[in-house]
Chains A and B, each alone.
Chain A
Amino acid sequence: MDLEKLKERVLTLVPEAEFEENKQFVTFFVPAGKLHVTTMRLKDDEDTAFDYLFCQSGTDMGKYLMVVYHLESTKLGHAIVLKVKTEDRENPAFDTVCDIWRTAEFHEREIFDLLGIRFNNHPDLRRLFLDENWVGYPLRKDYKDEVNIVEF
């Protein structure tokens, strides 16, 4: 599917989606509530068929926290980027996509570990790298660690 058609398809699925200018991929901000439904449709529809989640990452953008999904179709060869964001820093949460792509299970645990974003309905949401009783989320921009991080 060419990029214009892909754009239209996402907008018909979620009219609230915001298009973002990006040279490499078609990029959309999807409302958090519609994330699961959108991704499910994008995977299942035959002419989109995004069956490979090749990167899932979280970022602290200062004003908001965001999770980015890089999707590719192994059959059709096209790619898309979906993003969700939340301004809630105390208790951020999104729906899990690990029932759609199993690789998300580990990626979501990593994001939970390092950014403190929870994923609803995740089967095993524990810290992945850090100790269970570690305080704070290191990849957040306001994370302070006076012992391990040396400021220049």
Chain B
Amino acid sequence: MKEVIHTPVPSVEEEEYHINMGPQHPSTHGVLRLVVTLQGEIVMKLKPHCGYIHRGMEKMCEKDTYPQIIHLTDRMDYLSMHINNHAVCLLVENALQIEVPERVKYIRTIMDELCRIQSHQLWWASFGMDLGGLTCFFYGLRDREKILDIWEESTGARFLQSYYTPGGLMWDIHPDFQKHTKEFLKYFKKKIRDYEKILSGNVIFRERSRNIGLMTKEEAISYGVTGPSGRGSGWSCDVRKHHPYALYDKVEFKEILYQEGDTLARYMVRMDEMYESMHIIEQLIDNIPEGDFSAKMKAVIKLPAGEYYQRVESARGDLGIYCISDGNKTPYRMKFRTPSFSNLSILDHISRNLKIADLVAIGGSLDLVIPDIDR
């Protein structure tokens, strides 16, 4: 008779096992795959697997002229499209020492801030949905639609607009742009109160998001976590304040800082930033000066040989473009330092020893946009 060997089966609480979150998972907000090692429902560690939508943008840039590159950057962080365009335009303008007309600076600053508002609206919508509040999703998208309408009128597109060109804008704003923007501000100021009521003041939401995903200021700096996520840990890292561009040194606005460093703090930073963005637009919208919508540019743009670095504050953080030019009409090397890429790197560190349901909240609070990671 064969001897039967009984091997003890470890209980679920003791055994480590792996699950795949993604590549198609609603809470990863795109095609990101997280391999999560669990013990029971506690996250022991996680490994992000990127590259599902890597398009080789940096390689493509080596074959493209600077005005063509602008159209690629829209597709990086598709929720900060204007701001990404702005980075390339500033890079070229600073390298060629072109002074853009005052009107352009006004319009660009307003567009950037509208962009930040709609990005935070979509983030709020999906963050609410991640935590079980489906109403948020409908509210957020409903209000974001108003901004897309304003853009459609002026830029001709709703999403990937490529509205900025080196030296100015593709074309002038629509005559009704100011009127409609002011109408939107009036509308959204009422609606954002609903946002506060439905989520910020919600006991279930606050209890779920408080004290999870804790990140100290030192960790944020070391991991390079910028933008609202870094400012939720008290790190003053707003490029608009530290390295001002366009009209950010002329307008008055506060840099929102929270010291707690948890998921709720990162949430509060974004909510408050929407008020600040509206405040910036209000200061500018009535004073857009008359003038050209573009400076005179040569038909073929060639940057002098050398190295250039341009930083802007996108809706997710510090976006940097490092460009090496050899004097041709295409760059020799173009590197995009994207905020989501660095923000993703801390996800493993701050979600350890928490429940898997908290991982969804933490991931949402970092506001990752996957094409921004994969480029």
A binding-site residues for B, Cβ under 8 Å: 22-25, 27, 51-55, 57, 59-60, 68, 70, 74, 77, 101-103, 105-106, 110, 114, 128-130, 138-139, 149, 152
CB atoms of B56 and A68 under 8 A apart: no
Contacts of A128 in B (CB 8 A): 50-51
Cβ of B99 under 8 Å from chain A: no
Known: A24-B309, A55-B309. A103 touches B374 (CB 8 A): no
Give the interface segment out of B65-73, B138-146, B317-325.
Answer: B317-325
Q: Give A139 to B346 CA distance when docked, in angstroms.
A: 26
User: How far is B322's CA from A59's CA once the two chains are assembled, in angstroms?
Assistant: 11
A22 and B307 contact, Cβ closer than 8 Å, known pairs A77-B242, A129-B50, A138-B59? yes
Query: Which chain B positions have C-beta within 8 A of A23?
Result: 306
- List 19 A-B residue pairs with CB atoms under 8 Å apart, sorted by A's residue number: A23-B306, A24-B307, A24-B308, A27-B307, A51-B218, A55-B320, A57-B333, A59-B332, A59-B335, A70-B322, A102-B223, A103-B345, A106-B342, A106-B345, A110-B341, A130-B54, A138-B56, A139-B58, A149-B59
Taking the closest CB of chain B, its distance from the CB of A23, in whole angstroms, is: 7
Add 7 more A-B contacts to A55-B320, A70-B337, A74-B236 (CB < 8 A).
Answer: A23-B306, A27-B307, A55-B337, A102-B219, A105-B345, A106-B345, A152-B63
A53–B341 CA distance with the chains assembled, in angstroms: 13
- B222 contacts A by Cβ under 8 Å: yes
Would you call B221 an interface residue if the criterion is a C-beta within 8 Å of the partner chain's C-beta atoms? yes
Quick one: given A22-B306, A129-B50, A138-B56, are A103 and B335 in contact (CB under 8 Å)?
A: no
Q: Are B306 and A54 in contact (CB under 8 A)?
A: no
Q: Is the CB of B324 within 8 A of A59?
A: yes
User: Does B51 contact A103, Cβ atoms closer than 8 Å?
Assistant: no
Q: Which residues of B contact A24 (CB under 8 A)?
A: 307-309
Please tell me if the beta carbons of A59 and B333 are within 8 angstroms of each other in the complex. yes
| Inter-chain contact A106/B341, CB cutoff 8 Å | yes
Number of interface residues of B (CB under 8 A): 37
Please give, as numbers and ranges, the residues of chain B lying within 8 Å of A70 by CB-CB distance.
309, 320, 322, 337
Please tell me if B164 contacts chain A, counting CB pairs below 8 Å: no
Asked if residues B222 and A55 are in contact (CB atoms below 8 Å), the reply is no
Report Cα–Cα, A60/B342, bound state, in Å.
Answer: 23
Contacting residue for A25 out of B50, B58, B309, B345, CB 8 A: B309
Give bound CA distance, A70 to B221, whole Å. Answer: 14
User: Looking across the interface, which residue of chain A has its beta carbon closest to that of B374?
Assistant: A129
0/1 per residue, B137-162, Cβ < 8 Å to A? 00000000000000000000000000
| A contact residues around B127 at 8 Å (CB) | none
- Across-interface contacts of A60 in B (CB, < 8 A): 333
